[in-house]
Structures are given as structure tokens and as C-alpha cells.
A and B are shown apart, each in its own frame.
Chain A
Amino acid sequence: MEPAAARSPSSLDPAVLDRLGGLALVARTVVEGFMAGHHRSPQRGSSVEFAQHRQYVPGDELRRLDWKIFARSDRLVVKEFVAETNFSCHLLVDASESMGFGSLSWSKLQYARWCAAALAHLVIRQRDAAGLVLFDQSVRDKVPPRTGAQQEIEMIHALEQAQPSGATGVGHVLSWVAGRLRRRGIVAVFSDFFAEEEEIVAGMRRLLYGGHEPILFQVLDPQELEFDYTGLLRLEGLEGLGRLLVDPKAIRAAYREELAAHQERLARAARALSCDYVPLVTSAPLDVALSTYLAHRAARARARG
């Protein structure tokens, strides 16, 4: 258990990240904060096979430096493991209108962007391939998975351009993506999943059949979870779902039950498919998303090895 004092909240706190501005900076800040000795790679102690040495580049973890070679030859090289190579991470980010909701200073889409950007940075820094798909009820934009700094730049640019609009069609998009991904890898889906669970499950199945490993990151706003409003509200449904006059106090309990049931169904479906369902709340630090990804990467590496 890491001591709480040693944690660096500023780099992972959404409120701080909201003030940073550019996604590239956010991504770097998040990853560096995450990786700065507090979030150990799940690979520690794992039995990954040494594959080769390569030249050290700034940003590589210092602990991966082969000091023996440095001592002998004054050359900085890092060890590469089998699991580190030929790894793909596909980032699917829901940019539908509902993702534009936010009771804080940032929306769910903004939070999803941060997570996706941070993951992209992490993946590419680890010399893995990363790709991006932006969707609403269909694929809106995509960046095919590649390695390299330029890939990160393109992904971040695409993320920055995304604006919340259109209806949600996450299930359909999962199915569509499943048929078109060439490289097998982790498929991290950032969405609120305000869609029919059956379609989502069907999409997950197709991804699994395709050898992919879907992770569902459900991004929700704190108010969407709590519905802790006072006073009478005229709710204007996003994505054309109408409007309603409500007394929040009167329906709070029932609303939470409905949402919890939906989340339970998603979680159950994910468990049944041996997938991860990770609920994220936009007020929480971003380490959960990163930890989850790294754990999946390590597990996948062990499975290969």
C-alpha cells in the first residue's frame, strides 16, 4: 500500500488537468505522474522474457537500463522484453452528445480525452502501437494503430478535434470495429454506454471473437451517479430524448436504482465474457484507467509468454 503522502495528486487530479490545456501536456503529465514510482508496473516480478537490448531514449524507465553494459562500455541501453513488442492498444472514444454532459468544469468527453491521451502516450512510450477511433452512432474519425511519436501527435490531434454530437451507437461501433481491426490487442472503450446493453454485449463478443481484449471504461459524471440536485428541474434530454419536469428528490432513489441496474447488467455481461468493466467518475484521478491498462498488458504478455 503506497503511502498517501507520497502520491502526486496534481498530475492525476482532473481539476488540475483541466487547467493544463493541451492534451499532449496532459498526457505527459498524467503518465509521468502515474509512473513516478507510485504505480508500479504490474510487470514487476512478472516473468517476462528478455528479448533484446536497444538504445536508450529519453523517457525510458531508468530501471530498465542495463547498468552492466553501461559499466563495461559507457553505453546506455535498455532491456526489451518479448511482451513489450508487437503490442497494440486500440482506443475507442465515444464523442456522442451525451458525452458532452458535465456538472464539473469538464465534460465526460474531456475526461475520456485525458484518459485516452494518457494511455496513448503510455502505450507509444512503451513502443507499442496505439490507434484511435472516435465515434458517435458510427465511426466518426480514426487513426490506425502505429508506433512512434508522430502517431501520438496524430492521435492527440484527433482527440482534440472531437466535439460531442450525435446519438450514441456504441454497440454498433464495437461490432463494426471488431471486423476491421487487423492487429489484435487491447480495445479500451471510453463511453457512458447509455445504449442498449444487448448491442454493447454483441459488440464485445465480436471483439472477443476477433481475438481482442475489450475493456469497457464507463465514464460518468458525479451527478449522473448521485442525481443530487435540489429544486425543481426541467431536464432537457441530450441526443433528442425529450424533456421532463421533475422533482429530483422524488425520483432520486428510483433513478439510482435504474442506473445501478444498468451498470450491474454491464458488469455482469462483461464478467460473463471475461472482460473488464471499469466505472470511471469524472471527479476521480485518472490512475484507475492507467492501472487497469497496465494490468491487462502484463496479463497479455504472460499469456503469450
Chain B
Amino acid sequence: MGVFQGFVHPLLLWGIALCSIPLLIHLLNRRRHKPLPWAAMKFVLAAYKRTRRRVQLENLLLLLLRMAAVAALALAVARPFIGRDSPLAPLTERRRDLVLLLDASASTGYRENAASVFEEMLERARTLLSELDGTRGDRVHLLQCSQATRALSTHTPDDALAALATLTAPRDERLDLALALAEVVDLAEEDAGSTGHSALEVRLLTDLQRNTFLPAPADGAATADASAGDPRLPLRQALDRLGELGVQVVVEDLGPGVPQPPNLGIESVAPLGEVLGAAQASEIAVDVRNFGASGRAGLRVALTIDGVRQPSQKVDVPARAGVQVVFPVVFSEPGFHALVAELESDRLARDDTRAAVVHVPAPLRVLLVNGAPNDELERDEIGFLRAALEPPDDGGLVSSPVRSYSPFVATSVAANAFGGPEADPAAFDVVVVANVAALPAEIVARLESWVARGGALLLTLGDRCADPSALDSLNTRLWRADESGLAPARFVRHVAVASRRGSYFRAATFDATHPALAFFGDERWQAFLTEMPVFEFVACEPLSSARVLARLDDGEKSPLLLERAYDRGRVLLWTSSIDQDWNLFPQFPATFIPLWHELLRYAGTGTLPLRNTPVGGTLELETATFPRRAALVRPDGTRKDLDGEPQQVAEGLWRLPALGALDEAGLWRVESEAPQPIVLACQLEPAEGDLAHLAPEELESSHATWRFRAPGSDEGPDDEPQADRGELWRWFAGATLALLVLETLWAAWIGRGRRLA
């Protein structure tokens, strides 16, 4: 259709075909003539001849009016539009469709003057909305943009103003610009229809933060090209698509008026090194960064642990640099502790505070089940292990602050006492069953239940397990073909070197990525593991789900150390002995102690529940006590009951209902009837404190879709917010009505004339 530039709903244009319906009705009516024999035919013929032309014209005009009305209606609903240069342009209505994006990221909380950047954005948004006229059909899509894009209003300017009034502060999130523009792309594609050209006006009110508009490329990626996986790619794709649709994104910068606004923020608060345990000296590092162009001297940094303020420190932070402030602390109790680091408040207050929850481990409770007790330590099956876990008192020979602390609390029992009141697995974190061939079925059942709930079982072998009958017994109790038994492998046979003088086996290969063996991954200590002689072991067939952590260098690469997950717990199998009967590990403390310490800590620690999340994240929480009437308390103290019922995931373990996304930086609490609340930390993206400003020239040169506009600047005629196309649908709707009225009047006129005849 040459007159029109296009149609908003081109498919509805097929409705024009409906204008043939009056014609079809007219043609079908010809079949509905009633036959009548007639005598006075000559007079009818004479009358027909006289009136034919007039009647045909009357009927033709009626038919044309009806067809024209249908065609006009089809055009009206298809909504044709024309360009500004068309001669029909004066007839069109030019309503505005505005997409207004508000940058609600945390950085817009920057307060340069009395009002923050966000408050100024709100004011500017009100001004823009007041320029729209809802009665004219102007529409506005108001989008609040941060980590997620939220449509606050999609209708009239009045609705948008009402939605705007509900906003008071920015969110503690960064701005995902690609996501926001993807939303705009959807709107523009819907607006464009099949024309391929959208008439949407898009305005972004922002602080023009550099790292938002020019995100850093992925590690190792080329700076020029954004390839798959590169965080810049989605933004570029969205901009490209908008460009194809003819949409320009007008960016109004309401940010600070300097390229590098001054701001200091806390990037991290975390333990420096490993926290050994309660009553042990630890260090908490607070990383402070100065994003500004000027150094800051004498910055006071404070740390609060569980609400108790630690002595603050002063630090000098050079411009565009970070410093680490270390606080020596001693945690009095094991468990989770809330840390809050604070700076003196500056223009952007949100990054001057950072919370974290740190876990202080309690000593690991280890039950050692002794399959071959002996009064002599060197001959006792678990003698060396017990010594490694709880070093005997040396009578004060060595002065050490850690002398009074051991990360393990070991309890030893003979095999026949295993499962008794003092040796109930439920009271321990790790159970080591050393050289025990015969385990009662009841004990095995309790072990299975305990491991499934999260316990850790470590099996070592020895002479008591060497003969075939002992191996069969072990297989009977601990192995099942369907892999439902505790053992990570089926025990096959005892293997020994022919002569210990001549040869021995070694752990030729091991998994250095495993947390328990990571220590030996350092090439300085690797030989401590790989060069240890092993004279005897039990060959086994690992389960398909088992992980072999170390293999011997016998011809079959037999497993030395295996692990399997067992529901929520894990089982490790050492196929040699833990004493020096079958190998020389105990004779080398440099190997023995770190090996078994790491194995036991790995086995007994399990997966620590997460207590820290970035803003927008969510956490899954489990408790050992039933969380009756659980509620979530925000950092500002607002309390909300959790919807849903807790689920029991194992005996004595409940999972709380979903918390939802945590959208505010700070410390959150989950309170219930349990004595202690669960404390969570929600952390702001540190980069949000970097307020480095993007220059307008840089913005526009980064992509042709961007167009910079200073807020309140004079706009020339070319900048007038006008729609590129005007629509004519109202005219066609009016024409439809007019044609219908004319058709009605004409039909009545004809009918009247014929009735009077």
C-alpha cells in the first residue's frame, strides 16, 4: 500500500477481504428469488426496462457503501501509519510512546548535594512524565533497572507518576544494563510489528557509571571483540537490535559532575587465613578501596563482631588503591559469627558498611574404634593416630599458644565396645573403624543411618581383615551389589610384597585436587605421600560411584584411598593399615600427621552451610531443631513470616521454607522458637562503589544506539520528542461510522421510495 508507510497490525489487514461479504450476500440473494408464474409479463418487462438502470445504481451504491464500511473498519484496526514527510501527515495523530528507564543501582545513592542522584532522577522523571498527555493516547513504560528490571507502570503517564511516588531509595544492586535493554528490545519489537521500525522513545536516567556502560571483558578475552561468554556480549546484542529497530536510547546523566567522584568503600571482610577454632587467635581482614582521585589519610575503620565493637584502626588509603586492615580477634565460641566492618560515612554510604558471617569450627569429635588394641602405642592399631590427633603433654617443653587447643577431640574404644553408650556414633563427627573385621549387623545399621544423616566414616584395614573369611565378613556387612552398602568398594583379596627387603608399593598417583590431599599437591610435599612404602594392602573393586583418591603402583593400580558419598555423609576407605604393620606412614610424622589431619577434617567438616550471599541471592537453610514460626528479619528490622512449611530432610534435620531473594545489604536473621537465630550476610557488589564516570563522547562512540543528553539542556527542533510516524486509524474509524450511517440512510430512502410506490 503506497500511501501508507506500514501497519501496526498488518495481519489484521486481511480483514479487508471481508468487504466481499456484502457482495457474496448480494450474489447469494439471487438464488433466493421465489418463482412465480406471471401473466402480465409484458407490463413487468416494460417496467423493468424503465427502472433497471435506476434500481441497479441504487443497489450498487448500497453495496459499495457496505463494502467501503467493512474496508474502512479493516484499515482502522490494522492501524496504518505514515511518515512525517507524507502529504497526509497533518491528518495523523502523533502520540508518544515513552520507555523511561530509571537506574536504581546502589551507586545512585551518591549524594553530591542535598539530594542524591536517585532523588534527582526521580524529579527528572516526574518532569518528563508531566510532558506527556494521557488523553492524547501517550503511553509510558516505566522500568526500574538494577540487577533485575521491574516494570512499574505500562500505561498512562498518570499511572507512571503514581508508581514513581512509591520509590524512595535505590536498591542495593548493580545495574544490569543488558537485561534492562533486553526488556526495551522486547517492547520495541512489539511496537514495530512487521514494519521493522519502532517509534518508541527510550530514555535512560542514570549516573553514567563507567563499569555499567563499559563492563570489563571476561578474563582473558580480547578487548575488542565480545565473544560468547563475554559479559559485554548481551549488552552489545541488545544495542545492535535496538539499532536495527531504529530506536535510539537517550541517556541523561544525573550523576556526579566529576569524572572520578570521591568514594571509599569496603570491598571485603573475611578471615585472613584459616580460622582454627574458638579461643584461637585469628585475623579478620577488611579490604578498603579508595575509588576516588584523591588519597585519604587517617580513615577510621571499625569492626564489630557479634555486635561487640573491636578497637578501630586508622589507615591511609591512596587514590585509586586499596589497603587491607587486619584485626586480630579471638572467637570465644565455635559457630557462626556476624562481622560488620564500617568506614566513616561518605557521599555514598551504602558501601561504607559490609557484613559477613564467618564460621568458627568446633573441635572435631572423632571416635576411634580399635580393632587391635595394644598397650604399646607403636603396636596399638590406633596408637599413632591417637597421638596425631591429641598430642600428649610434653611437660611444657614447648611454649605455644596453641598447646591448649586441638582441633580434634578423640575418643577410643575397642571394637567390642563400639555402639555402646560411650561410643554412640551419633555423638561424633567422624568414626574411624580401624582393622575391624567383624561388625555386628546392628552396628552397621546404626552406622548407615548415622552416615546418611551427615556423619563421616573412615575404614582402615589390617591383619584382622586379611584372610578371606574376614574379607567376606566385611563384604557381607559393608558391601552390596546395588551400592547401598557403606563400603566404597568390594573387598577382594589381601596383597603383600614377597619380601619387604626387596620391594614395596607406593602411592604412585593421587588426586591433588581433593581437599584432603591438596596439601600434598604442593611439589615440596608431594614426595611425602608418593614415596611412602606400602607393603600390604587389600585389593578391592571400587563402586561405580566411588572416587579413587590415590592408587598404588602395583600392576593393577590398586586403590589405596577411596571415597564415596553416602546420602548426606561420606565414607573413606584406606586399603592398608593405619598402624605400621602394613606400611611405614606412621614412621614419618611429616606425612602421617598432615595426611590424617586433612582426611579427618575433610571427612568431619562436610559442606559448610552458606551464610553469605550477594544482594539478590538466596540461601537454603537447614536446622537441627524444628523451626517453629520462622520469620525473616531484614537489616532494617522489618520482620516477615516465612511462607510454607519446613521439610524434614533427614532425621533431626529440617530445611526452612524458601527465603526469597535477599535484596538489601547487611545482616539478616531468621528467627524461630530456636534459642539462637540464624544470621545471614547480604553483601553489596564492591564494584558499585567505583563511581568513575563515563564521558558523553565515550558513550556515543561506544555504540551508535546511544545518544547523550544533558538533563534540562535546550533541545533543538530535531530533538523534539516526536513520533516518527503518525497513525490514521481514527480517521478510518470515523469513516466506518460515516459509511454505516450513509448506508443506513440510503437503505431507508430506497425502502421508503419503494414502499410508497
Which one of B37, B41, B46 has the highest number of Cβ atoms from chain A below 10 Å of its Cβ? B41
The verdict on A244 contacting B39 (CB below 8 Å), with A249-B754, A254-B50, A254-B51 known, is no
A251-B39 Cα distance, complex, nearest whole Å: 16
Task: Kindly specify which of B25-33, B137-145, B361-369 makes contact with the partner chain.
Answer: B25-33
A152-B301 Cα distance, complex, nearest whole Å: 144
Instruction: Tell whether, in the assembled complex, residue B48 and residue A251 are in contact, meaning their CB atoms are under 8 Å apart.
Output: yes
**Contact partners of B38 in chain A: CB under 8 A:** 101, 235-238
Among candidates A229, A238, A258, residue contacting B47 with C-beta atoms closer than 8 Å: A258
Which one of A233, A234, A235 has the highest number of Cβ atoms from chain B below 10 Å of its Cβ? A235
Which one of B40, B44, B47, B754 has the highest number of Cβ atoms from chain A below 10 Å of its Cβ? B40
The verdict on A257 contacting B47 (CB below 8 Å), with A247-B55, A249-B754, A252-B754 known, is yes
Q: How far is the CB of B63 from chain A (nearest CB, A)?
A: 14
A257-B38 Cα distance, complex, nearest whole Å: 17
Q: Which of A230-254 contact B (CB under 8 A)?
A: 231-239, 241-242, 244-247, 249-254
The verdict on A244 contacting B37 (CB below 8 Å), with A232-B32, A249-B754, A251-B51 known, is no
The verdict on A244 contacting B44 (CB below 8 Å), with A233-B34, A250-B754, A254-B50 known, is yes
A198 within 8 A of B: no
**Contact partners of B757 in chain A: CB under 8 A:** 249, 252-253, 256
Instruction: Tell whether, in the assembled complex, residue A251 and residue B44 are in contact, meaning their CB atoms are under 8 Å apart.
Output: yes
The verdict on A235 contacting B44 (CB below 8 Å), with A245-B33, A251-B55 known, is yes
Q: How far is the CB of B408 from chain A (nearest CB, A)?
A: 107
Q: How far is the CB of A98 from chain B (nearest CB, A)?
A: 4
B5-40: CB near A (< 8 Å → 1, else 0) gives: 000000000000000000000000110111111111
Chain B residue with minimal CB distance to A262? B43
B524 within 8 A of A: no
Instruction: Tell whether, in the assembled complex, residue B34 and residue A255 are in contact, meaning their CB atoms are under 8 Å apart.
Output: no
**Contact partners of A259 in chain B: CB under 8 A:** 40, 43
Instruction: Tell whether, in the assembled complex, residue B40 and residue A234 are in contact, meaning their CB atoms are under 8 Å apart.
Output: no
A236-B33 Cα distance, complex, nearest whole Å: 11
**Contact partners of B40 in chain A: CB under 8 A:** 98, 101, 192, 194, 224, 255, 259
B42 within 8 A of A: yes
Interface residues on A, range: 35 or more
Q: How far is the CB of A286 from chain B (nearest CB, A)?
A: 21
A259-B45 Cα distance, complex, nearest whole Å: 11
Among candidates B32, B41, B754, B755, residue contacting A235 with C-beta atoms closer than 8 Å: B41
A235-B43 Cα distance, complex, nearest whole Å: 12
A245-B36 Cα distance, complex, nearest whole Å: 10
Q: How far is the CB of B304 from chain A (nearest CB, A)?
A: 97
Instruction: Tell whether, in the assembled complex, residue B39 and residue A249 are in contact, meaning their CB atoms are under 8 Å apart.
Output: no
Instruction: Tell whether, in the assembled complex, residue B30 and residue A224 are in contact, meaning their CB atoms are under 8 Å apart.
Output: no
- Counted as pairs of residues, one from A and one from B, with CB atoms less than 8 Å apart, the total is 103
A256-B44 Cα distance, complex, nearest whole Å: 9
A251-B41 Cα distance, complex, nearest whole Å: 13
A100-B37 Cα distance, complex, nearest whole Å: 10
Instruction: Tell whether, in the assembled complex, residue A241 and residue B42 are in contact, meaning their CB atoms are under 8 Å apart.
Output: yes
Chain B interface mostly helix, strand, loop or mixed? helix
Chain A residue with minimal CB distance to B43? A258
A231-B30 Cα distance, complex, nearest whole Å: 11
The verdict on A234 contacting B51 (CB below 8 Å), with A244-B44, A249-B757 known, is no
Instruction: Tell whether, in the assembled complex, residue A98 and residue B39 are in contact, meaning their CB atoms are under 8 Å apart.
Output: yes
Instruction: Tell whether, in the assembled complex, residue A192 and residue B39 are in contact, meaning their CB atoms are under 8 Å apart.
Output: yes
Instruction: Tell whether, in the assembled complex, residue A232 and residue B29 are in contact, meaning their CB atoms are under 8 Å apart.
Output: yes
Instruction: Tell whether, in the assembled complex, residue A244 and residue B754 are in contact, meaning their CB atoms are under 8 Å apart.
Output: no
A128-170: CB near B (< 8 Å → 1, else 0) gives: 0000000000000000000000000000000000000000000
A256-B46 Cα distance, complex, nearest whole Å: 10
Instruction: Tell whether, in the assembled complex, residue A244 and residue B34 are in contact, meaning their CB atoms are under 8 Å apart.
Output: no
Among candidates A101, A246, A253, A257, residue contacting B39 with C-beta atoms closer than 8 Å: A101
Instruction: Tell whether, in the assembled complex, residue B39 and residue A233 are in contact, meaning their CB atoms are under 8 Å apart.
Output: no
Instruction: Tell whether, in the assembled complex, residue A255 and residue B47 are in contact, meaning their CB atoms are under 8 Å apart.
Output: yes
A237-B44 Cα distance, complex, nearest whole Å: 10
B148-161: CB near A (< 8 Å → 1, else 0) gives: 00000000000000
Q: Which of B702-757 contact A (CB under 8 A)?
A: 751, 754-755, 757
A99-B43 Cα distance, complex, nearest whole Å: 15
Chain A residue with minimal CB distance to B54? A250
A262-B751 Cα distance, complex, nearest whole Å: 27
Instruction: Tell whether, in the assembled complex, residue B754 and residue A224 are in contact, meaning their CB atoms are under 8 Å apart.
Output: no
Among candidates B33, B37, B43, residue contacting A232 with C-beta atoms closer than 8 Å: B33
Instruction: Tell whether, in the assembled complex, residue A245 and residue B41 are in contact, meaning their CB atoms are under 8 Å apart.
Output: no
Instruction: Tell whether, in the assembled complex, residue B47 and residue A241 are in contact, meaning their CB atoms are under 8 Å apart.
Output: no
Instruction: Tell whether, in the assembled complex, residue B37 and residue A101 are in contact, meaning their CB atoms are under 8 Å apart.
Output: yes
**Contact partners of A232 in chain B: CB under 8 A:** 29-30, 32-34
**Contact partners of A241 in chain B: CB under 8 A:** 41-42, 45
**Contact partners of B45 in chain A: CB under 8 A:** 241-242, 244
The verdict on A237 contacting B41 (CB below 8 Å), with A250-B754, A258-B47 known, is yes
Instruction: Tell whether, in the assembled complex, residue B35 and residue A236 are in contact, meaning their CB atoms are under 8 Å apart.
Output: yes
Chain B residue with minimal CB distance to A101? B39
Instruction: Tell whether, in the assembled complex, residue B754 and residue A246 are in contact, meaning their CB atoms are under 8 Å apart.
Output: no
A190-B210 Cα distance, complex, nearest whole Å: 111
A244-B45 Cα distance, complex, nearest whole Å: 8
Among candidates A234, A242, A254, A255, residue contacting B35 with C-beta atoms closer than 8 Å: A234
A192-B51 Cα distance, complex, nearest whole Å: 24
A255-B29 Cα distance, complex, nearest whole Å: 22
A79-118: CB near B (< 8 Å → 1, else 0) gives: 0000000000000000001111100000010000000000
Among candidates A100, A235, A242, A250, residue contacting B36 with C-beta atoms closer than 8 Å: A235
Q: Which of B39-86 contact A (CB under 8 A)?
A: 39-48, 50-51, 55, 58
A233-B30 Cα distance, complex, nearest whole Å: 9
**Contact partners of B36 in chain A: CB under 8 A:** 229, 233-236
**Contact partners of A246 in chain B: CB under 8 A:** 44, 48
**Contact partners of B751 in chain A: CB under 8 A:** 249
Q: How far is the CB of B388 from chain A (nearest CB, A)?
A: 112
Q: Which of B459-517 contact A (CB under 8 A)?
A: none
A247-B750 Cα distance, complex, nearest whole Å: 12
Instruction: Tell whether, in the assembled complex, residue A255 and residue B43 are in contact, meaning their CB atoms are under 8 Å apart.
Output: yes
**Contact partners of B47 in chain A: CB under 8 A:** 251, 254-255, 257-258
A252-B754 Cα distance, complex, nearest whole Å: 7
The verdict on A244 contacting B29 (CB below 8 Å), with A224-B40, A262-B43 known, is no
Q: CB within 8 Å of A: which residues of B?
A: 29-30, 32-48, 50-51, 55, 58, 751, 754-755, 757
User: Other than the known A241-B41, A247-B754, A254-B48, what 9 A-B pairs have Cβ atoms closer than 8 Å?
Assistant: A101-B37, A194-B42, A233-B35, A241-B45, A244-B48, A246-B44, A246-B48, A253-B757, A258-B46
5 contacts across the A-B interface (CB closer than 8 A) = A101-B38, A236-B38, A238-B39, A239-B41, A254-B48
Q: In the A-B complex, list the 5 residue pairs whose CB atoms are closest, starting with the nearest.
A: A253-B757, A249-B754, A237-B41, A254-B47, A101-B39
